[in-house]
Amino acid sequence: MSVENNLESIVAHIGDLPAIPKIVAQVMELTEKPGVPVSEVSALIEGDIGLAARLLKVSNSSYYGMRESIGTLKLALVILGIKEVRNIVVGISVMDTLNDKTTDFLLQQEGLWDHSTKVASLSKKLGLHMELNLQGEDFIAGLLHDIGKLVLWKQIPEEYEDIYHAAKERGVPLYELEYEELGFDHADVAGVLAHKWSLPESLVHALQAHHPRADRPIADMKDPSLCAIVRIANRAARENFFAEDADSGDFLSCTDEEAWAILYDSFPTETTQERFDLLYQYSVDIEGTTSLTF
């Protein structure tokens, strides 16, 4: 099902989606201009002191993986590049829009925030390791992959809470029960929200394809590699790589042949053990890291 068709059916069921934050629209418009000066982008973001401070916090976090400290917004724009800084702004602003008392249960009690930051970090590490030059879309796609859950929790709370808790009680994947009950899942909702906000198509598709489904193969997406690493990172973030009886053949992150086939040129292996070893090392790197906060 296309993003456009999903948008129509989702809005019909849950109502109008949240509007794009003003700062995101302004930053997206400005950074699309060829040759836009760093000073102009810096001035726009610095107009929101809180956003600028949080952008630096994310850039310097261990989750983001920078090897040198970034002390100013202009330095961030020079070191990371305008597109990467833009993507961090998008991620922060989207989470701000969806983070309130109604979603606190999911974000805090259910650990969605910790999970999202872990997926973001794993995605970033995979993108860097495979030299995919994703300019921050790997981190932000990982951070935002589950925003569809927040939208559903806010828009149709009673109906969605029933689905959410039923999936846990029955031990079935949430996205499968969502699709069974609603005709779409939280990945669809994330994709259509990003589409409505005119975010890059590669990001739209990465959010939409972070769970497997026959009607949305990774190979058909705008950036299959981005979709593949977010899918793998999402699965890896929920798996225990430190268990004594850990077996790479039992780990969905290591056995997702659709995703790993896309990445074969960047990481040429067909063995689950080599995939396990790579993801194990990344899990070691972020183990014990204090959760990223804005």
What are the residue ranges in the chain where pLDDT is below 50?
none
63-95 tens-digit pLDDT: 887 777 898 999 999 999 999 999 999 999 998
Q: What is the pLDDT of residues 196-218, one digit of tens each?
A: 999 999 999 999 999 999 999 99
The residue to which tokens 């769970």 are assigned: 211
- From CA 204, how far away is CA 144, in angstroms rounded? 10
Tokens 């602003």 map to which residue?
A: 93
Exposed/middle/buried for 75, CB within 10 Å: 0-12, 13-18, 19+?
middle
- Region of 66 please: left (phi>0), alpha (psi -120 to 50) or beta: beta
pLDDT of residue 290: 59
Q: Which of 193, 177, 187 is nearest to 146 (CA)?
A: 187
Residue 123 burial (C-beta neighbours within 10 Å; 0-12, 13-18, 19+): buried
Residue type at 77 in one-letter notation: L
CB 209 within 8 A of CB 226: no
Question: What SS3 class is residue 269?
Answer: coil
CATH homologous superfamily of 3-286 equals Hypothetical protein af1432 (1.10.3210.10)
pTM value is 0.93
